[in-house]
Amino acid sequence: MTQTGEARYDSIVVGSGAAGGTLARELALRGQRVLVLERGKGEPDPDSKIEPAGKANLVFIGRGVPIARGIGVGGTTMLFFNTMWDPPFDYFRSLGIDLTAEAEEARKELPVAPLSDELMGPVARRVMQSARELGYDWNKLDKAIFQDRCAPGRYPHRARWNSRYYLEEAVAHGARVVAGAEVQRILLDGRRVRGVVYTEKGERREASAERVVTAAGGIGSPQLLQASGIGSVGQGFFCDPLIVIMGTAAGVENVGEFPMAAGVHLEEEGTMMTDLPLPGATYGMMAATALRFDRLLAHSSTLAVMVKIRDDIAGRVSARKLRRIFGPDERAKLASGYRRASEILRHAGATKIFKSRVVAAHPGGTVRIGEHVDANLQTGVAGLYVCDCSVIADPWGLPPVLTLISLAKRLAKHLA
């Protein structure tokens, strides 16, 4: 284990999720000495009820709305639904960042493709047919899945790409990944980064490096910078709130489908809709928290549509809590999405339609490009960078993983 006075690294990466895992691989491939510090556990939790291996950590914002994230090696990619959405290239160009080459590189490296017709389940097919009949440009979405390892109704963990694949390559090229290592503070030497303080198995340790990149996620990175007294970050965040609209339909049998097989992005409105057949336990939790106990046993014959909206950057992240109340525009967008999704479900033959409570899954916009970091993702401290969902500078509303992988690849080129 790294003790004070031990090896000095070229780069320390804090967090091992979508961005951290990519960065570790890219830097190690370029011959850097890399240390990845991850506060969560090394192995997936075999008892997890959430498909397939990750354990969701819930943090609550105002009025009991939970944000789900993954804490462990692989970060939130251990829970994610594997949808790969291209970065909004024009938006990033307006910030002085061209991600075209990096996104293309990632698409070549990862098993990205829409699900085959055979693997697309009956819920997704029926929802897509209904949405198309109603005039939506509803199409299959790209997924990062090894489809040759799947069968209809069977999507084992090893078939789902996650950032551990990149971490394994990083380790093969000499990187060290330490699980259960929570970074407490960034160490500075004047206005230059010097290393980090972290705890591992209750012990305080230090590691030093030329550069530190916090890739601790949209909540973790601002909290770490705040704890280190760096910048006025965390003022405002987005979280892409969503609801799931569900209804019972005769002749449907959900035997364990992969969620988000197809959908539509209504860009102007800032709304995304997809099918969302959920695992039984998650469905049960959603029905119970919506107080629809009469629907608890209806899982296998339920059609489900997710409505996710682009929310504002508002509220606050601090060390102890996240504060955020959705405003009238955001509530109106969710209500409009609910009406659209209900119509799709009714048209598909569903009855007993109900909606889940609001949940969120993409916290970000807390350490923004152009405000807290420059176009190379460097903070005001020399050698200290941020690379994760935090740096997205404007309201978002899209699946962010391919964007984060692309940003991390670009940063690695810059650092090397």
Ligand X SMILES: Cc1cc2nc3c(=O)[nH]c(=O)nc-3n(C[C@H](O)[C@H](O)[C@H](O)COP(=O)(O)OP(=O)(O)OC[C@H]3O[C@@H](n4cnc5c(N)ncnc54)[C@H](O)[C@@H]3O)c2cc1C
Q: Footprint of ligand X on this chain (CB under 6 A)?
A: 14-20, 37-40, 68-72, 75-77, 79-83, 85, 182-183, 215-218, 220, 224, 260, 361-362, 388-389, 399-401, 404
Bond into 363 cis (ω within 30):
no
Question: Minimum CB separation from ligand X for residue 336, in Å?
Answer: 22
Cβ 328 to ligand X, closest distance in Å? 26
CA distance linking residue 353 with residue 338, whole number of Å: 10
State which residue, 260 or 381, has the beta carbon closest to ligand X: 260
Half-sphere exposure of 118 (CA within 13 A, CB side): 7
Select the residue whose beta carbon is closest to ligand X and give its number.
17
| Least distance (Å) between residue 16 CB and ligand X | 5
Instruction: Please state, in angstroms and rounded to a whole number, the distance separating the CA atoms of residues 59 and 319.
Output: 12
Closest CA relative to residue 254, chosen from 44, 51, 79: 51
Q: How far is the CB of 349 from ligand X (least distance, A)?
A: 27
Residue 62 Cα distances to 235, 245, 295, 325, 355, angstroms: 15, 22, 27, 5, 19
- Please state, in angstroms and rounded to a whole number, the distance separating the CA atoms of residues 235 and 355: 31
Q: Which is nearer to ligand X, 258 or 326 (CB)?
A: 258
Minimum separation from the CB atom of position 316 to ligand X (A): 18
Distance CA 183, CA 200 (A): 9
Residue number with CB closer to ligand X (159 or 404) = 404
> Measuring CA to CA, which residue among 395, 60, 369, 55 is closest to residue 221?
369
- From CA 380, how far away is CA 231, in angstroms rounded? 8
Nearer CB in complex with ligand X: 39/324:
39
For the CB of residue 72, give the shortest distance to ligand X in the complex, in Å: 6
Q: How far is the CB of 54 from ligand X (least distance, A)?
A: 8
Of the two residues 150 and 350, which places its CB atom closer to ligand X in the complex? 150
Round to whole Å and give the CA distance between 78 and 69: 9
Distance CA 351, CA 348 (A): 9
Q: What whole-number distance in Å separates Cα of residue 220 and Cα of residue 18?
A: 14
Please say which residue, 53 or 68, places its beta carbon nearer to ligand X: 68
As measured in angstroms, the least distance from the Cβ of 183 to ligand X is 4
- Spatial contact of 328 and 314, defined as CB atoms under 8 Å apart: no
Q: How far is the CB of 210 from ligand X (least distance, A)?
A: 19
Contacts of 172 (CB under 8 A, 6+ apart): none
Instruction: Supply the angle between the helices 328-347 and 122-133 in degrees, to the nearest 10.
Output: 100
Nearer to ligand X, 95 or 134 (CB): 95
Nearer to ligand X, 83 or 342 (CB): 83
In terms of CB distance, is 260 or 314 closer to ligand X? 260
Please tell me whether residue 64 adopts helix, strand or coil conformation.
Answer: helix
